[in-house]
Amino acid sequence: MIPAEFEYVRAESVDAAVALVAEHGDEAKLLAGGMSLLPLMKLRLATPDRRDRRRSSP
């Protein structure tokens, strides 16, 4: 199954990620390594409108 359409945002810092989550509340979801959000989206068990991504810290 294909996930529902969503807006993808890449945060450039932790502060930016926190601000995005604060701005969008429960509709914002953070993606991190090892998370099961994408498989849940494929099954339509999770359908957040927005996903935010933060690059790994060096």
Tens digit of each residue's pLDDT (9 = 90 or more) over 7-56: 888 888 889 989 989 998 888 888 776 567 777 778 777 777 766 665 55
Beta bridge partners of 50: 7, 28
Measured CA to CA, the distance from residue 2 to residue 41 in angstroms comes to: 8
Question: Residue 19 has what pLDDT?
Answer: 93
Both tokens of 50, joined, read 């927005």
Question: Residue 1 has what pLDDT?
Answer: 66
For the chain, domain boundaries:
7-47
Tell the residue number behind the tokens 């993606």, with chain if given.
31
Question: Residue 57 has what pLDDT?
Answer: 53
